[in-house]
Amino acid sequence: MKKSGLGDSPFFLPPEKKIEVITPPLSKTLDQKERLEKTKKEEKQKLEKSSSSDTVIPRYHDTTVSRYQDAVYELVRKAVKELGKEAATHRFTLEEKRAIADIIYTYKNNGIKTSENEIARISVNFIIEDYRENGESSILHKILKALNG
């Protein structure tokens, strides 16, 4: 069987050097950052108000998340490494296309070949795995609920 080249890409190997991603400033990105900061502040206030009987986040919480992320990364890597043969057409906004093109350009400048198709497949497989693992807590469920609510 002929290798596709996608899974053999160094993109799927642990990075040997730090890659600096350069993205143009967008007003939506600023809004997202502001919302994220607001959410973080609210969570911090909730933690400060919590009593001793409330659930406490484990000290090694980050370790657990890291193991989960490592497992998800490996599942997504394996899925994208397999050659995709089913054709599909998707409609992106101009802003989405530009953002993907910027990502491809950034990785190309760091010696890593990728494509719009590869990035789309990584995204789709990540969303699928997140939904399988987290169900109603998944990003997909929350966004679909917000879109239809």
Tell whether 109 is covered by a domain.
Answer: yes
Q: What is the mean pLDDT of the chain?
A: 78
Average pLDDT of the segment spanning 91-105: 96
Number of domains in the chain: 1
pLDDT at 126: 94
The distance in angstroms from the start CA to the end CA of the chain is 47
pLDDT at 31: 66
pLDDT at 135: 94
Tokens, residue 62 = 């980050």
Q: Is the pLDDT of residue 6 over 70?
A: no
Distance between CA atoms of 122 and 124, rounded to whole angstroms?
6
The model's confidence at residue 70, banded by pLDDT at 50, 70 and 90, is confident
Contacts of 53 (CB under 8 A, 6+ apart): none
Tell whether 48 is covered by a domain.
Answer: no
Tell whether 23 is covered by a domain.
Answer: no
Average pLDDT of the segment spanning 66-73: 81
Tell whether 148 is covered by a domain.
Answer: yes
Tell whether 132 is covered by a domain.
Answer: yes
Tell whether 54 is covered by a domain.
Answer: no
Q: Is the pLDDT of residue 68 over 90?
A: no
Task: Please report, for residues 22, 62, 79, 100, the alpha-carbon distance to residue 15 in angstroms, rounded to integers and kept in the order given.
Answer: 17, 20, 19, 20
The model's confidence at residue 42, banded by pLDDT at 50, 70 and 90, is confident
Nearest C-alpha neighbor of 127 from the set 81, 97, 135, 61: 135
Domain that holds residue 141: 59-84+91-149
Q: For the purposes of burial, counting CB atoms within 10 Å of the CB of 118, is it exposed (0-12), middle (13-18) or buried (19 or more)?
A: buried
pLDDT at 41: 75
Helix locations, 55-115, DSSP H = 61-81, 94-109
